[in-house]
Structure 1
Amino acid sequence: MLDRLNQAMDRIEDHLTEDGVPLDVAALAQLALTSEYHLRRMFSALAGMPLSEYVRRRRLTVAGADVLAGRDTLLDIAVRYGYGSAEAFGRAFRAVHGIGPGEARRTRAALDSQPRMSFRLVVEGTSSMRYRIVDKPEFTVVGPKARVPLVHLGPNRALMDFIRGIGKDAVADLEKLSDQEPHGVLGVCDDLDPSRAEGTELDYYHGVVTAAPAPEGSATLTVPAGTWAVFDTSGPAPEAVQHLWRDVFTQWFPSNPYRSRPGPELLRTRYSDGHTEVEAQLWLPVERQA
């Protein structure tokens, strides 16, 4: 798997200057022997940024060297790296480097650099991961829903404000409706942008899996039948949950014949009185590799 991911990274480098031809992510996935969805999900988890963001930053890193070299016009450089105009290139260049390309060329300014990524094996796995595979028929999630931004690092203020606004009594009433796995009140993320870019929006449900009718003011999410990988962990909060996500994508997926598939991601957390310890259960939609 790591060899195939590194071959995909090589392919990206070969296609940084295709004069506007978009990178074929489906071809990258085929090279990595997986689905496009799983490649994007794996890359985001392993690299800490969406694949599209990495490609953009690599292109603008290499373009920065061409800008400073001064041999070509800025328009020629813009077209070479996939931008339709000097203005569009200038906006993207400034977003990465903090300075426009013309000013960077005139002043020989210092630019930011996105290093080329590669994946290597780190000997880990000294402790086992608790998981099970569940084939679950269609089920329904019921609960308050909000459209919130995706935040990779730091607190998600919009999500926190939404959950606080539900109220403890409403959450307690909701929990009474839970009548099947996964039990309890869940955080359910659905309809994520395939790029998983920072700031893109997703549907968040603070709900339960139930056959009961939705209470007034609640939304309903029908989840098709499918296969799920279920992971359990416990330990210090919030590190235990953060490490669970990390370990699933850096250790479990590369070691097992499954890949992620489109669908909602479900997380149940139960905290100790002082919020110093947490028990968590994570449900991820998966499919067996062909």
Structure 2
Amino acid sequence: MNWIEALQKAVSLMEANLLNEISVQNIADACDFCPGHLQKGFSMVTGYTFAEYIRNRRLYLAAREMQETDLKVIDAALKYGYESPDAFARAFRRFHGFAPSQLGEHSGDVRVFLPLQIQITVRGGYDMHCEIRNIPGFEVIGTVSRIPAGEDSYQVIPALWRDFMTGDGRLPQSDGDSSA
């Protein structure tokens, strides 16, 4: 099994065990990977640790179930792996931004955290021939124009470039700082 398949299998195992205790060692054993390497790869690809992923999924599912049923905070805390309603309420507030008791008035503000699907696409692969050359010095010419930021700058800048490119080869005199 390659490491992308292992990461997706790890996600599947965590999803299947969201309401159960599952250790990093259990996940790593099922994926035939070293726990440290699997965790590091998962974190690099997803931006989450295993614990963060499981916690975020549980808190999302708890909020959704509390919205759809009459599940009480104490029951949600126990069902979703928290030792006390207070610990659950603190985690819920950190994740969703409001207390579980305020779920009714903030039902549209529930933070969604759906299962991850790991897909990596690699495209391209161009062999570039690089060569370092020493070339003699040369002069660069240019012009300075101060353009205030605003809606009309999208018209002014292309017009300046067009005028410069269609000119007689001489640079217009700058009205700004000539040290640029």
What is the TM-score with the length of structure 1 in the denominator?
0.40
Q: In the alignment, what sits opposite 2:88?
A: 89
Hey, what's the Cα distance between the residues in 2 that align with 1:109 and 1:121? 32
Please give the per-residue CA displacement for 1:138-165, whole angstroms capped at 9, x wherever unaligned: xxxxxxxxxxxxxxxxxxxxxxxxxxxx
Deviation at 1:125, TM superposition (A): 6.6
1:96-135 counterparts in 2 under 5 A?
Answer: 96-124=95-123, 126=125
Structure 1 position 6, deviation (Å): 1.4
2:19 maps to what in 1? 17
| Structure-to-structure mapping, 1:37-48, within 5 angstroms | 37-48=36-47
Aligned to 2:135: none
> Using the alignment, how far apart are the partners of 1:57 and 1:101 within structure 2?
15
- One of 6, 9, 12 as aligned partner of 1:7: 9
Q: Give the letter aligned to residue 95 of structure 2.
A: V
Check the 8 A contact 2:24/2:50 in 1, yes or no. Answer: no
Counterpart-to-counterpart distance in 2, 1:51 and 1:118: 14
Change (3 A) 1:85 1:43: same
SS in 1 for 2:52: helix
Aligned counterparts, 1:212-231, within 5 A: none
Render the CA deviation track for 1:7-26: whole Å, top value 9, x for unaligned: 211111111112xxx32211
Distance in 2 between the 1:55 and 1:107 partners? Answer: 23
Matched AA of 2:17 = H
Question: Is the CA contact 2:67–2:103 (under 8 Å) kept in the aligned structure 1?
Answer: yes
- For 2:57, the equivalent position in structure 1 comes to 58
CA distance in 2, matches of 1:37, 1:125: 31
Residues 193-250 of structure 1: CA deviation (Å, up to 9, x unaligned):
xxxxxxxxxxxxxxxxxxxxxxxxxxxxxxxxxxxxxxxxxxxxxxxxxxxxxxxxxx
Contact 1:67 1:105 (8 Å CA) reproduced = no
How far is 1:108 from its partner?
Answer: 2.8
Q: How many residues align?
A: 125
| Aligned residues of 1:43 and 1:49 also touching (Cα < 8 A) | yes
SS in 2 for 1:29: helix
Per the alignment, do residues 108 and 42 of structure 1 end up closer, same or farther by CA in structure 2, a change over 3 Å counting?
A: same
Which structure: larger Rg?
Answer: 2
| Residues 59 and 92 in structure 2, CA contact (< 8 A), matched pair in contact too | yes
Looking at structure 2, the residues matched to 127 and 58 of structure 1 have their Cα atoms a distance apart, in angstroms, of 40
Is there any run of 5+ residues in structure 2 with no aligned partner, and where? 128-180
Alignment of 1:246-257 (within 5 A): none
Structure 2: how far apart are the matches of 1:56 and 1:86?
15
Paired residues of 1:93 and 1:101 also in contact (CA < 8 A): yes
Q: Tell me, in whole angstroms, the C-alpha distance in 2 between the residues paired with 1:125 and 1:107.
A: 46
**Following TM superposition, where does structure 1 have runs of at least 4 consecutive aligned residues deviating by more than 4 angstroms?**
none
Q: CA RMSD in A?
A: 1.8
**Native 8 Å contact 1:15 1:23 kept in 2:** yes
Change (3 A) 1:127 1:27: farther
Structure with the higher fraction of residues in strand conformation: 1
Structure 2 distance, partners of 1:79, 1:66, is: 13
**1:84 deviation in Å?**
1.0
Q: Of Structure 1 and Structure 2, which has the larger fraction of its residues in helix?
A: 2
